[in-house]
Structure 1
Amino acid sequence: MTIHPEIAKILATLPAPDGSPLNPEAMRAGEAAHVPPLEDRLPLHAVEDATAVTPTGEVPVRIYTPAQADSYRLLVYFHGGAFFLGSLDTHDHVARALAKETGHKVISVRYRLAPESVFPAGLDDCYGVVRWAAEQGSSLGWNGKNLAIAGDSSGGNFAAVVAGKAHDDGFDRITHQVLFYPSVDLDFDGDRYPSLRENAEGYGLETAGLAPFNAFYINSGADPANPLVSPIKRQDLTGLPAALVITAEHDPLRDEGELYGRRLEEAGVEATVSRYDGANHGFVQNFSWIPEFYRAFEETAEFLNAGTASAGSTAQ
């Protein structure tokens, strides 16, 4: 189907790329300027900033408690932003919606960004926080059940890689992985996937922009041939946590995400691939105010809470 009309309206207002060099500081400032004030955000029982102490250093986190309860399932969330953009604030509304709909206590990670921090700094932060969450389970009110991980775009990349690292290390506490339109193949050859051609221009994220946007990460030492950088390169996917892969119809990255989901399923992993028609890359962050796209949070809740009682996620 065609792009959703509300998305089309906004895309029509965006300036065409002019080929000028990307300026991380200016782009981050631009993002920060659009963060809504606290009083306009989805209310939850509690939201607090904390610090996770990991083997590679202290990592700032933000913890979202959806409602008062004796204990919680946990979800560790990694924001997107091509490895050099995004923050706890730019994706605060995503973490809040995840907490509300899933009933999980959500831990959002402020990992180190490229180009200031070189590979694998951000990845180490994400993995370290997952291990920290398991170790600090009692203080977090963890009920010992779900320890899920989730991420959008480059955060989906980190989630997929963290799932693999944990398996290789014998850390078997991760129960679920949720990948929102993940960037799982940083080899941006336009002939690799049909969606790179079909959705090359006009949908926000453009195929020609993939290499320059990800160059800060790749130039920091992240080799696209390395499965720790491009998780689709991982040969053995057996034993990984159950996966929900959500993709967007009008996204250059659509086909690599869907291929990764199929490969997980072929490896015996419980995997669901769910494509959102009419959507573009970034829709969970940018367009979840559209009811049919907010559905992604509800689908995530169904996936994480399958076979359990109601999540009890009423916000206060």
Structure 2
Amino acid sequence: MTIHPEIAKILATLPAPDGSPLNPGDMRAGEAAQVQPLEDRLPLHSVEDATAVTPAGEVPVRIYTPVEADAYGILVYFHGGAFFLGSLDTHDHVARALAKETGHKVISVGYRLAPEAAFPAGLEDCYGVVRWAAEQGSSLGWNGKNLAIAGDSSGGNFVAAVAAKAHDDGFNRITHQVLFYPSLDLDFDADRYPSMRENAEGYGLETAGLAPFNSFYLENGADPADPFVSPIKRGDLSGLPAALVITAEHDPLRDEGELYGRHLSAAGVDATVSRYEGANHGFVQNFAWIPEFYRAFEETGEFLNAGTVSNKGTASTEGTAP
């Protein structure tokens, strides 16, 4: 189907790429200026900033508690942004929606960004926070059951890489992985996947922009063939956590996400691929106000809570908020 008309209206206002060099500082400032005021954000029982002490160093996190309960499943969330954009603030609304619709306590990770910290710094931060969450389970109110990880775009890359790293290390506490339109193959040959050509221009994220956007993450010479850089390159996916891969119809990255889901299934992993028709890359962050795209959060809740009782409910108070 064609792009959703509400998305099309926004896309029509965007300037065409002019090929000028990317300026991370200016782009981050532009993102920060778009962050919703606190009073306009979805209220939850509590939202608190904290610091996770990990082998990679101290990592800022933001902890979202949806409702008051005795214990919770834990969902560790890695924001997107091509490895050099995004923050706890720019994706605050995503974390809030995930907490509300899953009933899980969400821990959003403020990992180090490229180019100041190229591969593997962000990955190490994300993995470290997952291990920290398991170690701090009692103080976090973890029910000892679900320990899920989720991420969008480059955050989806981290989800796949963290799941693989945990498996290799014998850390078997991760129960679910959720990947929203993930960036899983940093070899950006435009002929590698049909969606790279089909959705090359006009849908927000453009195929020609993938290499320059992600070059900051590879600045230290990281090899796109490394499975921890491009998780789709991993040869053996057996033993990884159950997966939900959500893709967008009009996204250059659509096909690599869907192929990864098929590879997981072929390896014996319980994997579901869910394509959102009429959507573009970034729709979970940018267009979840459209009901059919907000559905991605509800689908995530259903995936995490299948066979369990969730803490999903209506919160009436806001705790300590950043």
* Whole-angstrom CA distance in 2 between matches of 1:127 and 1:313: 29
Residue pairs, 1:202-221, within 5 angstroms: 202-221=202-221
* Whole-angstrom CA distance in 2 between matches of 1:80 and 1:178: 13
Shift of 1:22: 0.2
Shift of 1:119: 1.6
Is the Cα contact below 8 Å between 1:102 and 1:313 reproduced in 2? no
* Whole-angstrom CA distance in 1 between matches of 2:118 and 2:263: 29
Instruction: Spell out, residue by residue over 1:78-129, the C-alpha distance to the aligned partner (whole angstroms, 9 max, x if none).
Output: 0000000000000000000000000000000000000001321110000000
Shift of 1:310: 4.1
Report whether the alignment pairs 1:107 with 2:95.
Answer: no
Q: Which runs of 5+ in 2 are unaligned?
A: 317-322
* Whole-angstrom CA distance in 1 between matches of 2:4 and 2:202: 13
Is the Cα contact below 8 Å between 1:305 and 1:311 reproduced in 2? no
Shift of 1:223: 1.4
Normalising to structure 1: TM-score of the pair? 0.99
Aligned to 2:179: 179
Provide the secondary structure at the position in 2 that maps to 1:94.
helix
Aligned to 1:305: 305
Normalising to structure 2: TM-score of the pair? 0.97
Higher relative contact order (CA 8 A, sep 6+): 2
Aligned to 2:31: 31
* Whole-angstrom CA distance in 2 between matches of 1:119 and 1:40: 35
Report whether the alignment pairs 1:141 with 2:141.
Answer: yes
Aligned to 1:262: 262
Q: Which runs of 5+ in 1 are unaligned?
A: none
Instruction: Spell out, residue by residue over 1:176-213, the C-alpha distance to the aligned partner (whole angstroms, 9 max, x if none).
Output: 00000000000000110000000000000000000000
The farther-off stretch of 208-217 and 221-230 is: 221-230
* Whole-angstrom CA distance in 2 between matches of 1:136 and 1:313: 25
Aligned to 1:16: 16
What percentage of residue pairs aligned between the two structures are identical? 87
Is the Cα contact below 8 Å between 2:67 and 2:311 reproduced in 1? no
* Whole-angstrom CA distance in 2 between matches of 1:265 and 1:24: 37
Is the Cα contact below 8 Å between 1:146 and 1:174 reproduced in 2? yes
Shift of 1:171: 0.1
Provide the secondary structure at the position in 2 that maps to 1:178.
strand
Instruction: Spell out, residue by residue over 1:150-186, the C-alpha distance to the aligned partner (whole angstroms, 9 max, x if none).
Output: 0000000000000000000000000000000000000
Q: Which amino acid aligns with 1:153?
A: S
Aligned to 1:88: 88
Q: Which amino acid aligns with 1:31?
A: E
Provide the secondary structure at the position in 1 that maps to 2:279.
strand
Is the Cα contact below 8 Å between 2:74 and 2:104 reproduced in 1? yes
* Whole-angstrom CA distance in 2 between matches of 1:281 and 1:221: 27
Q: Which amino acid aligns with 2:224?
A: P
Residue pairs, 1:125-274, within 5 angstroms: 125-274=125-274
* Whole-angstrom CA distance in 2 between matches of 1:126 and 1:306: 25
Aligned to 1:279: 279
Aligned to 2:42: 42
Aligned residues: 316
RMSD after superposition: 0.6
* Whole-angstrom CA distance in 2 between matches of 1:39 and 1:207: 37
Provide the secondary structure at the position in 2 that maps to 1:217.
coil
Is the Cα contact below 8 Å between 2:181 and 2:257 reproduced in 1? yes
* Whole-angstrom CA distance in 1 between matches of 2:214 and 2:266: 29
Is the Cα contact below 8 Å between 2:154 and 2:183 reproduced in 1? yes
Provide the secondary structure at the position in 2 that maps to 1:184.
coil
Instruction: Spell out, residue by residue over 1:250-293, the C-alpha distance to the aligned partner (whole angstroms, 9 max, x if none).
Output: 00000000000000000000000000000000000000000000
